[in-house]
A and B are shown apart, each in its own frame.
Chain A
Amino acid sequence: MRRHKATRSGVPLNLTPKEFLLLAYLVRSAGEVVSRAEIAEQVWDIGFKTDTNVVDVVVRRVRAKVDDPFKTKLIDTIRGVGYVLKAH
């Protein structure tokens, strides 16, 4: 974690620093639903609410790297609330 490198099943994921921070936050709160505002606050230190879908765009990118190549999907969307990383 400290070296800012993420792997899944031994495969390097090549995340950008912000994508890494987002994934790290989801992992830290695995099993809990986190809202978009919480993600914006934790990852970008953004305190205001925005009408744009910035967080969704980044989550989509993380998903593309973390979930798309694999069969089991880890990140779930909770409509109207936010995202959750399934706990194992």
Chain B
Amino acid sequence: MFSKRTERRSIAWQLILLFTLATSLLLACGLGVFYAIVIQHAVAEDNAVLADRVAALRTDLHESGPGVFAEELKSRQPREHTAYWIRMLDPQGRTYAETPGMDRSLPPEIFPPPQESVSTARGLKSYRKGPKLFSLVTLNEESGSHPYTLQVAQDRSSDERVERSFAVLFIMVLSGSILASAFIAVIVTKRGLRPLREMTQSVARVGPTHLKERVTPEEWPRELKPLASAFDDMLKRLDDSFTRLSQFSADLAHELRTPIANMIGEAQVALTRDRTAAEYRETIESTVGECERLSRIVDNLLFVARVDAAREPIARKRLDARAAVEKITSFYHALADDRHIAIGCSGEGQIHADPDLFERAVGNLLDNALRFTPEHGSIQIVLSERNGDFEVAVSDTGCGIAAEHLPRVFDRFYRAESSRSSDGAGLGLALVKSIVDLHGGSAIIESNVGRGTTVKLIFPLPQK
């Protein structure tokens, strides 16, 4: 279905068709107008000649009298191509004299009623007899105080022939031009779309193992540059995700390997010979500890994965943020006290969040802060409301994180090597970020090496 649609909508054929159509239309219009002007001009000229002729005849009739005029008419020998046929009618309307042979092809009845003069603009009565075309004019003229009528026929067959051959020529020129323009359109379109084909080839080279391949926008025509750079951006994002994913698998394996190796090692040592009950007990206790560690990693990982897949249910409530934060700080109080770290909390407000998740997020931040803050340091939690969001900022006076690590600290298992050698699985901040993401908020981290780190959690407040 898809391929049919694209086939029908080939850009090349559309361009060719439209281009040819436009050219034909323009040419036809131009040639048509030209043809009309030429024909009109020819007719006007014929009319002018006819008018001159008629005027001369009238003068002739008026001056030389009906007798001489009639003699003159009769004396003319008719030829194949006689241009003018003239008939003279007496006052009673009978034929007085005419060009010999005129009554055969041009009887008196076919002529129009008499008119004043021959206009060059107006069309004259036409009469077709066999292959010949005539323009007919009737005029009254006095001669010897009697009113006579002159009937003049102008042979226009040659004009018609010219017109016809002219029309044939025009049609030939037109069809030739249409063919030529279609040909040009094909060539231009093929040339114009060639970069697209090249780009396809270039894109086709990109594969999972060639994610570093780039389309390099500089080489492409201006129209394709946005596509090329958008594609490069996409490749960069893909490459980034791909690297992260591989890194994640590697980190996960590494993270799981240590506890498993510990368990195997201890169990093997215990099995080498008979042990006392206390020794077995110790081995089992140690195994439980390692398993708990594994279980925590898996739990957190599952949680983060479920949030990524948007499958974690969330039960928002209005919470007193200060009370919720103080509940958490009271939990960490003894630990902080032990290490002479002061935990302070300021600001207050209502927050719209899932209570369990909110506590988990703040708890994880405090976990981290306590881990990286040396003795006699301090941890400050500041609650504030701004621009329709609620902000929870946790600042410590710890060792800080180098700037190059900051963009990735929210990644799963990511650790700034120097600072994160301790027991945390490197999932804490990933978890925190997942929780704020779930609430439609965001997490921001700022850090100065040696001075401390601030993590801000921004929770959107409900629209009023």
- Interface on A for B, CB 8 Å cutoff? 18, 40, 44-54, 57-58, 61, 78-81
Contact = CB atoms under 8 A, between A and B. Distances in A.
B360 interface: yes
5 contacts: A45-B327, A48-B360, A51-B425, A51-B428, A52-B370
| Most chain A beta-carbon contacts within 10 A, residue among B282, B334, B428 | B334
A39 to B, nearest CB: 11
A80 B335 contact: no
The 10 tightest CB contacts between A and B, nearest first, are A80-B288, A80-B285, A79-B285, A48-B360, A44-B331, A80-B289, A58-B334, A54-B335, A57-B334, A57-B335
A47 B327 CA distance: 11
Contacts, number: 60
B330 A79 contact: no
Contacts of A46: 327-328, 331, 359, 363
Contact of A49 (B284, B287, B299, B370): B299
B356 interface: yes
B335 A79 contact: no
Contacts of A57: 334-335, 338
B24 interface: no
A80 B287 contact: yes
Interface of B: 282, 284-289, 292, 296, 299, 327-328, 330-335, 338, 356, 359-360, 363-364, 367, 370-371, 423-425, 428
B424 A44 contact: no
Given A45-B327, A47-B359, A80 B292 contact: yes
Contact of A50 (B287, B356, B363): B363
Contacts of B284: 80
Contacts of A52: 332, 335, 367, 370-371
Contacts of B428: 51
Contacts of A40: 331
A53 B282 CA distance: 20
Nearest to A18: B330
A53 B284 CA distance: 20
